[in-house]
Structure 1
Amino acid sequence: MVSAATVFGFLLIMVVNTVLAAVAIRFFRLRLTTTWGAVVYTAVLVPLLYFGTTILLSGFIGFGGSGVQDRGTALILVWVVPFTLAVSLDIFWLPSPDEVELPDSAR
């Protein structure tokens, strides 16, 4: 039986990873001029963010220990689901990068 702390820990990691991925994907789509640049940066850098947050936050829930018997399912929950949610949030619910006005220069 899975404890409430394990469920809360997984939900915490999923929420943090979703927010980080959504912000990173949006940043790449707004700042990079090419479509493939945003795709490449997203495919390379978001998993690095996930690796760091998963290692940092998983110590609280014992990732792969007694709380979870199947590591594949755990990785799908903390990497694939948040990434899919972040991509769908950016593509379907946020305005297109062409519609967003960016400042000419930073002060």
Structure 2
Amino acid sequence: MVSIADLVGLVVVVGVNATVAALATRFIRVRLDTQWGVALYVALLVPTTLFVLTLVTTGPVGLGPDLGGAIAVLGVAVLLPLALGVAFDFFWMPAPEEVELPDTLRES
């Protein structure tokens, strides 16, 4: 039986991973100029970061319940937050080109 503490831990892991995915996707979109570069880095770098973060938060820290297998962990703790974070950045946040910066922050 899953306890309330395990469910809260799982929600924390998914929330932290989704936040990291959204911030990493935004950082990559702002720094890179090509669409292929953004897609490549978001497809490779962000899931790797989420995987390592999941190992840290569910291993030594001990958050979340036993999901029963590696596929379930990858699906719930890596792929779901990745999809949420990328969707949040692409659909809710304005495109980096649409944001106006003050003249002091523009690159020369």
**TM-score interval, smaller chain:** 0.7 to 0.9
Which portions of structure 1, spanning 4 or more consecutive aligned residues, are displaced by more than 6 angstroms?
A: none
TM-score, structure 2 length as denominator?
0.83
- Structure 1 distance, partners of 2:68, 2:96, is 42
Contact 2:19-2:85 at 8 Å conserved across structures:
yes
Task: Check if 1:86 corresponds to 2:85.
Answer: yes
Q: How many residue pairs get matched? A: 102
Q: Which sections of structure 2, spanning at least 5 residues, go unmatched?
A: none
Match of 1:104 in 2: 106
- Structure 2 distance, partners of 1:87, 1:21, is 6
Match of 2:74 in 1: 75
Deviation at 1:61, TM superposition (A): 3.4
Match of 2:45 in 1: 45
Contact 2:10-2:64 at 8 Å conserved across structures:
no
- Structure 2 distance, partners of 1:18, 1:87, is 8
Deviations 1:53-102 (A, max 9, x none): 11111021376xxx332432232111111111111111111001210235
Match of 1:54 in 2: 54
Match of 2:10 in 1: 10
Contact 2:9-2:64 at 8 Å conserved across structures:
no
- Structure 2 distance, partners of 1:68, 1:86, is 22
- Structure 2 distance, partners of 1:94, 1:68, is 32
Equivalent AA in structure 2 for residue 79 of structure 1: V
Of all paired residues, the percent bearing the same amino acid is: 39
Deviation at 1:18, TM superposition (A): 0.4
Equivalent AA in structure 1 for residue 93 of structure 2: L
TM-score, structure 1 length as denominator?
0.84
